[in-house]
Structure formats: structure tokens, C-alpha cells
Amino acid sequence: MATHKLFLLPGDGIGPEAMNEVRSVIDFMNAEGIGSFETEEGLVGGSAYDAHGQGISDADMATALAADAVLFGAVGGPKWDHVPYEVRPEAGLLRLRKDMELFANLRPAICYPALAASSSLKADVVEGLDILIVRELTGGVYFGEPKEITDLGNGQKRAIDTQVYDTFEIERIARVAFDLAKTRKNHLTSMEKRNVMKSGVLWNEVVTAIGKNEYPDVELDHMLADAGGMQLVRWPKQFDVIVTDNLFGDMLSDVAAMLTGSLGMLPSASLGAPDAHSGTRKAMYEPVHGSAPDIAGQGLANPIAMIASFAMCLRYSFNMVENADLLEKAIAKVLDDGLRTKDIMSEGMTEVGANGMGTAVLTEFQIQLGKGQD
């Protein structure tokens, strides 16, 4: 059995609480011989700034690059609101994405039947929802240069961010999205703002060409990103796979997240290109939710997105598809049984904390594997 090297970066706020529940799943799998994982732990975000004066240290960055996969919690909080921009907590996350060349961000939005009533939309609009947003992660306005604030004098300043995309960046994210669409419903929607942005014009041209020349069997639609946001709220089940750039992907995936009832429910995967020799990809897995400093340290965090992120790790990095399926089924069963953390609590359900939810999912995972008692 191959041994997989996992690098855990719990981060700030509720990140450590959520990561603790994943660590219990990893320990169980190791003890039962279901998997073989070596884990190391490092600092990222505000905790790294406090220790090293930067969002992630060079040593921890090197460990991340050497790992088979990185599990990431969350970063940021009011404590670090006024640190220098270059070393803010979020800079650690951006460096991980950039240095590991994680250009493809996969954000599933799944509404578990038990949680349809928790969505802000009508149950019939979201029940059974299963869409996947593929976001380009290392280009666009978050990384384009120049990026600066200049003093114009007379009390005036000018802020500049630059939206830049090259053809190859669009091609590679489009291929990831088309490949994923082929494993699902063979339907891909590309979103950009070609009506007002030149980068959107190029994006549309490149995605159209890739579809026509390489994936003629996949149904391809185009939609302006603002209209896409509206349609996600109006009737989200019209979509299957959505591909978009860094900025719009950031916003649209958060909109999609709330369709499911809570940001605490949704995982994500960030993938690099396959290695030419081994075929393996550098990868990082993280929940969509933030650090939630208002509830940090109180045991109230919802660990489901972090556990589901580990399930994505099993699926995409280690090809442990059956185990990933069973872990996801365990999450669904626990929700069907009526357990809820505070963020998804509703009348008639049983409220539990982070550890209570994590323990329940692990127990059900053991049952799914035939290792526990029903």
C-alpha cells in the first residue's frame, strides 16, 4: 500500500477545530489499514504571521511543495486587519496557489435533501442540486500587474488592478472543465463579461474553439457572469458544470454555496497540471467557508466542509474513489438522522458542536466500511 504524504495547514479561526475532525478520520484509516497517510502540520495565515512575520514561511512552503496533497483550513481575522498588505494572512493562501501552480479550483455545490429547507430559496428550487463550478485560480485580476495605489497629490489617489489572461491559461482550465462535464451530464456553461471586458472576449473565443475542436460531444453554453449570478438564484438546476475566471469564480461560487444552506457545507479542490512523468498533480483541498472568528474556539464550527474536502482529496489525489463515496454518504446519513451544527440548525433537529458532528460522521463512515456497529 502506497504511503501518502499529507501536509495539514489548519490556519486561523475555526480552521483548527474543523481540521481536528479530519485528523480523526485520517487516524482511523491508518489504524484500520484502509489507507497509509503520513501527516505534517504547519502554519498559515495569521498564525504564520505571528510566528514568522509572513502569511506562510519558506520552510512550510517547501513542505507543501513536497507533499502529495495539502489540507487547508481557513485564514484571517480582525487581529490581522492592519498588518502590511504583502504579509497579510490571505497572502499565504495566494502564495500556496501560485507556487504550487494550482490553476484549477473545483467547487461543488450540492444540496443534501435533508438541508433543502435550510436554503434561503424555496426547497423545490434547490432540492437535489448538484453543480460544479470550475474557477481559474492563478491568473486574472488577483495576480495581474500592475497592482498598486499611487498618490496623485492634492489628496487624490489612484488604485490599479489588472485583469490579464493568456490563451494557454484559458485553454487549460477549459479542458479541465470539459473533462469534468464528460463525467457528469455532458453540459458546460462558460461565464465571462465579453460585453465590457477584452479578457472576456478572448475567454469566449478560446473556450468556444476548445469545445468545437476537442469536445464536440459536450453541450457548451455561454452566459454573461452577472446574468449567471442571477440565474443561479432563479433556477440553479439548469446548470451542471460552470467554468469561469478567477474574479467571477470567487463570487459565483459563494453565491452557489449559499444555495445549499450554509458556507460550512461546501468543500473545494485546487489542482495543478499532471506531472509529465508520474501523472500526479499537486493539489490543495479546503472548505469554502472562512475563518469565522466570531465563533472560533467555542466548538461551534461546522466541520462538514473540511471532512468533505478530505473526501475530495481521496478522490482526486489518491484515487480512493470508493472510500470518498462512503465518506460522502456518511455525511448525508448523519444529516438525514437530524444532526445539525448551529449554522444549519432548524426546528426539530438535534444541535451538536464541531466534535459532535465530526464524531457522528466518523462513526457512520465506520459503519459504511463495515468497521462499526449500526
Q: Is the peptide bond before 236 cis (omega within 30 degrees of 0)?
A: no
Active-site residue identified among 179, 221, 254, 325: 254
> 191: Cβ–Cβ under 8 A, 6 or more apart, which residues?
222, 223, 224, 225, 228, 242, 243, 244, 248, 252
CA–CA separation, 350 and 364 (whole Å): 16
Active-site residue identified among 60, 193, 245, 333: 193
Helix H, strand E, coil C: the string for 203-261 is HHHHHHHHHHHHCCCCEEEEEEHHHHHHHHHHCHHHCCEEEECHHHHHHHHHHHHHHCC
CA–CA separation, 61 and 93 (whole Å): 10
Percentages of the chain per state (helix, strand, coil), in multiples of 5? 45, 20, 30
Per the annotation, the verdict on 226 as an active-site residue is yes
Cell of 201: 472576449
Q: Residue 171 corresponds to which amino acid?
A: E
Active-site residue identified among 12, 68, 245, 250: 250
Q: Is residue 136 helix, strand or coil?
A: strand
Closest CA to 165 of 92, 213, 103: 103
Active-site residue identified among 49, 142, 285, 316: 142
Per the annotation, the verdict on 142 as an active-site residue is yes
Per the annotation, the verdict on 250 as an active-site residue is yes
What positions carry a catalytic annotation? 142, 193, 226, 250, 254
